Chain A
Amino acid sequence: MSIEIQNISKSFGSFSALKNISIKIENGELISLLGPSGSGKTTLLRVIAGMESPDPNPDSHVLFFGEDVANKPVGDRKVGFVFQHYALFKHMSVFENIAFGLRVRPRSQRPSENAIRDKVHSLLSLIQLEGFGTRFPKQLSGGQRQRVALARALAIEPQVLLLDEPFGALDAKVRKGLRDWLRGLHNELNTTTILVTHDQEEALEVSDRVVVMNQAKIEQVGAPDDVFHHPASEFVIDFLGNVNVFHGRVNQGQAVLENIQVGASDISIPAGEKANVYVRPNDISIDRVPTGKSSIAAKVTRINRAGVHAKITLMLHNQEEIRVDITMEHLLELNLQLEDLVFVHPNKARVFVPDYTI
């Protein structure tokens, strides 16, 4: 099911939740809407579902397979919606929760009691909760409840599955398990799926494409490795994982920090413009001695060995802190101690010149 969003805006009073959003979602794709809270990602999902109507505008459309669904209420859009807090029907058993979408159909389209039972049982086995049909939501764990909510949404054989922070209320371990399970399920069913999340790791791990949103706008759309390695804006690089920021100036088309030159800018920008230089913690090397003219002196202030990589915090002489990740082997080799004076060297940097337009 391909979905096209064209020029959608949505405001609540004076607050703008979506500003002129356009995006095309391919059939069978698992796409994430990623952004901080208040970025408009949930509003966009609810507009697609038909739970919010966009601001009136003759040029704005929501198309399902090329058909404008503006006048279709949520119940007619055949969307499976999964909420962060499950929204299960507490007074109904797991079986009845899943069967609900089938039972409320008009009599002429309603499956027989036997057909409903078969459908529910096949969904129960899909979510690995066979034998849980007679339980009530209160008797299930959070992860189990969310799987029931997913089965309930799938029961109506939706054209598109909309997931609103489905794992947000679960603890880290369960979240990770369910995320992998969801990806497997998607590969099996191939239902077009839109996942809203504020967790960049989750988005980068499960999606075919990621839509990074900020302040009611789309910052970047791309495959996970694309947005991670080629971030289109400062916001994207900052939001997708830890990053060090240095503030420098442009000189001869290059960013200059302190007295060293890093990462060439693509465009020729007048000298003297402010330049922000972003370097990921694993793109910085630490040496005991200066290496060429691009090393910066720094003092080790913290060493954290808990993890796959050692996380080193250092202080530059201008009191700015930086974070560097190095392998455990390298840490042993260097024999780093607190207060040691070392030299850091950015290997790969992204330079953004704020407010600069050609």
Chain B
Amino acid sequence: MMKKRSTASLPGFRITMGYTLFYLSLIVLIPLAALFLKAATMDGAEFYATITSKRVLAAYRLTFGASFIAACINTVFGAVVAWSIVRYRFVGRQLLDAIIDLPFAMPTAVSGIALMAIYGPNGLIGKHLIPYGIKTAISPLGIVIALTFIGLPFVVRTLQPALEELDGEAEQAAASLGASRWQTFWRIIVPSLLPSLLTGFTLAFARALGEYGSVVFVAGNLPMKTEIASLLIISKLDDADVPGASAIAAVMLVATLLILLSVQGIQWWSQRRTGRA
């Protein structure tokens, strides 16, 4: 293994690295630092009281829980969608491929209104489910649906290149060694896709944590029940409680960062283990 990348034929490590640091500082790090500074205007006890109040804890649970469930759903079904687009040739494949990107491109408020029209209490699907006691809006389920909607393209777009590069000969080799299709799928295909699945999951999860626009339409925003963390932050700001909003945001930020870092760590470890790093 190489310890250092070979010297590129184009010079410019200093200038690109310098620009990277400057850019990251300006766009990402300084605003985030400001957030912590704002939160730090509270004293310790006050800070602790804010982030452990029942309403805030419920919002955290809902945000992380719904995001996690939505990311899991997307990982499974996004993988199926990516599989059919890459593996099969059918009429309308390119149209389907283009539709995948819609949740990326649409203003999230538009997504929210669209989802409400379908899953709301008077929506096309929603109204038929109400008699069975299934509320697809103004409920945590509605939030999961919205987060699934906006997270789908992340999983599909991450998996597509990995599926295209999948070694068809490895599958044939497995078959020639006596593996059934099921064994080939679980022992050969899934492990080869695992790094991309994990990346797709992480992106969908991270996206869901930060989602605001579509959720506020379908959630109903009932405190303790269907109020997500971003909404709580907004309402704190409306009450001119900037330090309180910053405190909630700072906790979200740290938690998200830890999750992203640990997923990155798992990726790094597995690639190193198999000599692919």
A: residues with CB less than 8 A from B are 49, 51, 73-76, 79-81, 83, 85, 87-92, 100-101, 104-105, 135-139, 149, 152-153, 155-156
> Are B273 and A100 touching (Cβ within 8 A)?
no
Q: Which of A79, A104, A156 contacts B187 (CB under 8 A)?
A: A104
Interface residues of B in 226-277 (CB under 8 A from A): 273-276
Contact of A74 with B275 at beta-carbon distance under 8 Å, contacts A85-B169, A87-B170, A104-B180 already known: no
* A85→B191 CA distance, assembly (Å): 20
> Are B179 and A100 touching (Cβ within 8 A)?
yes
Q: Looking across the interface, which residue of chain B has its beta carbon closest to that of A51?
A: B172
Q: Looking across the interface, which residue of chain B has its beta carbon closest to that of A109?
A: B178
Q: Which residues of A contact B273 (CB under 8 A)?
A: 136
Q: Which residues of A contact B276 (CB under 8 A)?
A: 90, 136, 138
Contact of A83 with B275 at beta-carbon distance under 8 Å, contacts A90-B192, A105-B178, A152-B177 already known: no
Q: Which residues of A contact B194 (CB under 8 A)?
A: 91
Q: Which of A80, A85, A89, A92 contacts B176 (CB under 8 A)?
A: A80
> Are B191 and A138 touching (Cβ within 8 A)?
no
B132 to chain A, nearest CB (A): 42
* A166→B56 CA distance, assembly (Å): 63
Q: Looking across the interface, which residue of chain B has its beta carbon closest to that of A84?
A: B169
* A101→B191 CA distance, assembly (Å): 17
A283 to chain B, nearest CB (A): 43
Q: Which residues of A contact B175 (CB under 8 A)?
A: 51, 73-75
> Are A139 and B275 touching (Cβ within 8 A)?
yes
* A8→B178 CA distance, assembly (Å): 25
- Extra contacts, 16 of them, besides A75-B178, A104-B187, A156-B177 (Cβ < 8 A), are A51-B172, A74-B176, A75-B176, A79-B176, A81-B176, A83-B173, A85-B169, A87-B170, A89-B188, A91-B194, A100-B179, A104-B180, A136-B273, A137-B275, A152-B173, A156-B178
Q: Which residues of A contact B172 (CB under 8 A)?
A: 51, 74, 81, 83, 87
> Are B275 and A100 touching (Cβ within 8 A)?
no
A165 to chain B, nearest CB (A): 12
> Are B191 and A91 touching (Cβ within 8 A)?
yes
Q: Looking across the interface, which residue of chain B has its beta carbon closest to that of A138?
A: B275
B174 interface hit (Cβ, 8 Å): yes
Q: Which of B170, B178, B180, B275 contacts A89 (CB under 8 A)?
A: B170
Q: Looking across the interface, which residue of chain B has its beta carbon closest to that of A91?
A: B191
Instruction: Name the residue in A51, A73, A100 with the highest tally of chain B Cβ atoms < 10 Å from its Cβ.
Output: A100
B167 interface hit (Cβ, 8 Å): yes
B25 interface hit (Cβ, 8 Å): no
Pairs across A and B, CB under 8 Å, 17 listed: A51-B176, A75-B180, A80-B176, A87-B170, A87-B172, A91-B274, A92-B191, A101-B177, A104-B178, A104-B179, A135-B275, A136-B275, A138-B274, A138-B275, A139-B275, A156-B177, A156-B178
